[in-house]
Amino acid sequence: MRIARNLTLAITLLVSVWFVGFGQSYPDRDAGVVYAAGEVTLQGTGATFPAPLYQKWFTEYNKLHPDVQINYQALGSGAGIKQFQQGLVDFGASDAAMTDEEMAAVKDGTVLLPMTAGSVVLAYNLPGGPSEIKLSRDAYSGIFLGKISSWNDPAIAKSNAGATLPDTKITVVTRSDGSGTTFVFTSHLSAISDAWKNGPGTGKSVSFPVGVAGKGNPGVTALIKQTPGAIGYVEYGYAKQIAMPFATLENKSGKYVKADLESGKAALASVALPADLRAWIPDPTGANSYPIVSYTWLLCYKKYKDPKVAQTLKSIVQYGLNQGQAFSVDLGYIPLPSGVVSAVSKAADGIS
């Protein structure tokens, strides 16, 4: 238990340093702009899914523009949308694009900008298990429905012929906070399983039939690492950075595909980005597509009270769409296709 507590504490401290960014938090988005020797400080809150990439962007942007500092608190997509709606931040972030109803509550208007994309993987901790595990659509939906409770269940063994699977109890790990990652994952489960669609359903927060819950992608990752037999859904970059094993999943065409850059690109290519920039990819087509992929959105106001804030945010967006994409692959994200970059850049012009 001491090792588990120390691991959780270490990851919590790392995340606190990693995500909070520069300076202090500001309780009001208009008060969050500081004019001291021309300096501007922006406050943002939201998704943990893109947080490592966003923090990299904000750090590198600050090196080029020392007069601009960006605080980003990775509190989850639900918190990002809520604080954005309340006008408590200069921008929000969510892995679930805001609905028309959610945007109607924003008095200064909303500009949704898909800034990057990534995969959701099923990371696991199985001592004594094979080096690689394949999960069919029936198997992983069954696990999260609580119908499959041990790692040597026939539904898992069927797609892992020749592998020795231990009789270890499965512990499902989910999110405790309002989460865009949860929305992405449950959207996929609803697309492939009628039992899930008519049961827990889709949402940023759902009532999972089984399991324990952690806060944010880091919290889920920590629980998986300290719990033998655990499996949970996390952003690919988190699993990649700390070398966590994750399952190879069956896609819509019946092919087993590992999450990586190419399978993520194939999934994005299967869906055209619409005019409102809200593209849903619950179950991508294509033999080489990884089955759980999503864009993630920056939430900006259409109108800011001070033009300096608007211009600074637009500059940051352009940096992320261009120079910032170069950091995507190393951190486990999918660089945006050129057509998407052009569409998002044009949409960002609507910020004033």
Read off the pLDDT of residues 191-249 as tens digits, 9 standing for 90 and up.
Answer: 999 999 999 999 999 999 999 999 999 999 999 999 999 999 999 998 998 899 999 99
Pick from 10-24, 57-71, 239-253, 284-298: least confident: 10-24
pLDDT over 90, % of the chain: 86
pLDDT confidence bin for 70, thresholds 50/70/90: very high
| 49 pLDDT higher than 80 | yes
Q: Give the mean pLDDT of 87-93.
A: 98
pLDDT reported for residue 38:
57
CA–CA gap between residue 247 and residue 55 (Å, rounded): 27
Domains 2-117+293-348 and 120-269 share a fold: yes
Q: What are phi and psi of 124, to 5 degrees?
A: -145, 165
- CA-to-CA dists, residue 53 to 194, 237, 302, 320, angstroms: 35, 9, 24, 9
**CATH hierarchy code of domain 2-117+293-348:** 3.40.190.10
The more confidently predicted of residues 186 and 31 is 186
Span 120-269 CATH architecture: 3-Layer(aba) Sandwich (3.40)
CB 46 within 8 A of CB 204: no
pLDDT reported for residue 14:
37
Q: Give the mean pLDDT of 131-155.
A: 98
CA–CA gap between residue 304 and residue 246 (Å, rounded): 43
| 333 pLDDT higher than 70 | yes
Q: What angle do CA 4, 172, 296 make, to 5 degrees?
A: 95
- CA-to-CA dists, residue 325 to 71, 112, 116, 162, 342, angstroms: 20, 18, 8, 41, 13
- Across all residues in the chain, what is the average pLDDT? 90
| 1 pLDDT higher than 90 | no
CA–CA gap between residue 11 and residue 229 (Å, rounded): 20
Sequence spans of domains, the chain: 2-117+293-348, 120-269
Pick from 38-47, 112-121, 123-132, 283-292: least confident: 38-47
Q: Exposed, middle or buried, 17 (CB in 10 Å: 0-12/13-18/19+)?
A: exposed
Read off the pLDDT of residues 255-301 as tens digits, 9 standing for 90 and up.
Answer: 999 999 999 999 999 999 999 999 989 999 999 999 999 999 999 99
CB 226 within 8 A of CB 235: no
99 DSSP assignment: P
| 4 pLDDT higher than 90 | no
| 157 pLDDT higher than 90 | yes
pLDDT reported for residue 306:
86
Q: Give the mean pLDDT of 91-100.
A: 96
